[in-house]
């Protein structure tokens, strides 16, 4: 099959109407999501993940243009996937199903990559597509099943650390009492949504670092889970100490929101620290980033 276009200008002319149609479909859909599910604190990462995913597409635009000009298109498979994606869009929009509506955007992008650039374009853009899965709202059943055990574990560790530090603290389930104050560890403080968001940050970090070593990438990706737990525990401890020293109003006011920034800052610091330590260990063992010993 011949290339779809012979130069970037011709490619832009041919894909322009498709891109306009894509914007006409999904800009109102994203606005609706922003005012509904993405407007909630637990889902506020959705538009950020979407923006980063689109930036990753733009970041690889030169390679994508080359793939669309030189690659072998897949009109049959791409057309079928586009039809299914549009049906998902109609279903999600008409029935107000957030998960289906958001997923249909990813599916439409994948189908367009197959239509205009074939498998070469899809392979090139697999990570932005995968990364945008993190903007999907998590099923409520899954969140309910996993959030309570996570909150219990974070509450237990936070209470134990503060107790051993000499603070007058006690715990009943996910309710922590320090001095005259009682605090409920909420879902946003130690829930599945936070883990989901931090996993996205970890994978983005790996993609930007561009490591070739599979073991190193796997270790860092897996380490996001305990790092998320540690960062959540740090956030809860900070909120407890703010309430203890400055009162309930401070703990529930601006400083409560600021603790959220501390959460992601602590998670990123721990992730980079672990990566640095892992790189030092690999260097001491004579292993390069490609996973091959230097003296081999």
CA distance 203 to 48: 14
Give yes or no: 285 in active site: no
Asked whether 271 and 203 are in contact (CB, 8 A), the reply is no
Give, for 181, the enclosing helix (H) or strand (E): strand 181-184
CA distance 215 to 287: 11
Q: How many distinct helices (H) and strands (E) make up the chain? A: 12, 3
Active-site annotation holder among 68, 171, 216, 235: 235
| CA distances in angstroms from 56 to 37, 137, 182, 192, 208, listed in the order given | 24, 21, 44, 25, 10
CA distance 26 to 16: 16
Give, for 178, the enclosing helix (H) or strand (E): strand 175-178
- Buried b vs exposed e over 273-288: b needs ≥16 C-beta within 10 Å? ebbeebbeebeeeebe
Asked whether 193 and 142 are in contact (CB, 8 A), the reply is no
Q: What's the distance, CA 229 to chain centroid? A: 16
Active-site annotation holder among 189, 216, 219, 285: 189
Asked whether 127 and 56 are in contact (CB, 8 A), the reply is yes
Give yes or no: 235 in active site: yes
Give, for 249, the enclosing helix (H) or strand (E): helix 248-252
Q: What angle do CA 47, 50, 55 make, to 5 degrees?
A: 125
Catalytic residues: 189, 235
């Amino acid at each position: 099959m011949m290339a779809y276009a012979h130069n970037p200008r011709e490619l832009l002319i041919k894909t322009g109407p498709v891109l306009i149609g894509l914007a006409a479909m999904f800009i109102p859909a994203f606005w609706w999501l922003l005012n509904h599910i993405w407007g909630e604190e637990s889902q506020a990462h959705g538009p950020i993940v979407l923006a980063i995913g689109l930036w990753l597409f733009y970041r690889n635009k030169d390679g994508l243009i080359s793939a669309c000009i030189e690659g072998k298109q897949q009109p049959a498979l791409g057309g079928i996937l586009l039809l299914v994606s549009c049906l998902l869009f109609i279903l999600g929009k008409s029935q107000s199903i957030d998960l289906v509506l958001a997923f249909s955007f990813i599916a439409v992008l994948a189908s367009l990559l197959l239509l205009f650039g074939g498998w070469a374009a899809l392979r090139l853009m697999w990570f932005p597509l995968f990364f945008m899965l993190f903007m999907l709202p998590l099923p409520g059943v899954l969140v309910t099943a996993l959030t309570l055990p996570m909150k219990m574990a974070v509450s237990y560790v936070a209470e134990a650390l503060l107790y051993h530090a000499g603070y007058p603290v006690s715990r009943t389930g996910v309710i922590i009492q320090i001095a005259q104050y009682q605090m409920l560890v909420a879902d946003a403080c130690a829930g599945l949504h936070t883990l989901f968001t931090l996993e996205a940050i970890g994978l983005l970090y790996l993609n930007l670092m561009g490591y070739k070593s599979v073991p190193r990438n796997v270790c860092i990706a897996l380490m996001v889970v305990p790092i998320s737990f540690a960062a959540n525990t740090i956030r809860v401890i900070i909120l407890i100490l703010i309430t203890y020293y400055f009162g309930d109003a401070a703990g529930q006011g601006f400083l409560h929101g600021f603790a959220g920034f501390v959460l992601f800052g602590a998670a990123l610091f721990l992730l980079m620290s672990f990566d640095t330590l892992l790189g030092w260990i690999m260097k001491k063992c004579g292993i390069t980033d490609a996973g091959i010993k230097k003296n081999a």
